[in-house]
Amino acid sequence: MFEKVREQIAELLGIEAATITADSSLITDLKADSMDIATLLLEVEEKYGIEINEDEIENLKTVGDIVKYIEANKK
């Protein structure tokens, strides 16, 4: 799952996948802005058939957080 999410983020942000770790902060390390994050989360919802509650979005700060959320909620 991490590999898929990492590739998705790398493609979206135009960066090398190898530079992304589970501990990478979307904002601090990967320099994603709010639009990048919104786009990523919409893609994740579509790709994995999940819905991310607005309350939970603020808890998705790292790549690992997103992976854990997908694994816990995918159908």
Instruction: Please identify every residue annotated as catalytic.
Output: 33
Q: What angle do CA 28, 32, 37 make, to 5 degrees?
A: 120
Residue the block writes with tokens 């959320």: 69
Rg (CA), the chain: 11
DSSP state, residue 25: B
Amino acid at 67: V
